[in-house]
A = this chain, B = another copy of it.
């Protein structure tokens, strides 16, 4: 299994704000149907700053969570949040996907959110995670897909700026268009009972919380966050990229509309529980 690749979104403080905003806005859409039974052991892969961790652990207070990340900075922030939320059912630890310190068949559930998009070999990682599941255990995977972006007014410069983000992520070994492939990925990794459901964000003037929380503070902020790297990589001129940002901001104004789809997959490790 390959080592995790350079993280295209970075670890700067404003990036952490973006992830926190994203988590708050999307909590119900993405996690509203995720509950873990009392006593079950849940592995959260790549917990980052703990944005999802707090939500998951609050919603399933009698499950026991083991959450890890490869970034010490993110883990420190996650530790602060878990403490602030007074959650006693979360164990945080540093670990590398390439060398996980868990015995086979340890967990009842594995939870993977916004991680596969950064990996060059997602099927191999899913197979590694499968071995950590007890027979009959379940995996939940959530990913976005930048190819689902749809907005009004349409704009070629906005499309080009988004393409910069997709290309940077591709050069870092990831795939910003991975969401649509969750079903074939989980099948190829050997899971059964694979079920994928799209979770679509739709933001227009009648939904100001989504316009602000998602269009502006999540998606547009993410694209703005790769500006310097896109320019350094020669993928865009400053004028071209800024025109794209302007068009994206325009979709959050009065008559603007913005759509984006996340995909959530749930699947089962073959075998029956002992």
Contacts and interface: CB of A to CB of B under 8 A. Distances in A.
Contacts of A206: 183, 194-196
A151 B197 CA distance: 14
B147 A184 contact: no
Contacts of A181: 152, 257
A202 to B, nearest CB: 5
A131 to B, nearest CB: 23
Interface residues on A, range: 20 to 34
A187 to B, nearest CB: 7
A166 to B, nearest CB: 11
A180 B150 contact: yes
What is the interface of chain A mostly: helix, strand, loop, or mixed?
Answer: strand
Given A183-B206, A196-B206, 19 more contacts: A148-B148, A148-B150, A150-B180, A150-B261, A152-B180, A152-B184, A154-B177, A183-B205, A183-B255, A183-B257, A184-B257, A188-B255, A196-B202, A196-B204, A197-B202, A198-B200, A200-B261, A259-B261, A261-B261
The 10 nearest A-B residue pairs measured at CB: A184-B255, A183-B204, A198-B202, A152-B180, A148-B150, A180-B257, A200-B200, A152-B181, A147-B150, A198-B200
Interface of A: 145, 147-148, 150-152, 154, 177, 180-181, 183-184, 187-188, 194-198, 200, 202, 204-206, 255-257, 259, 261
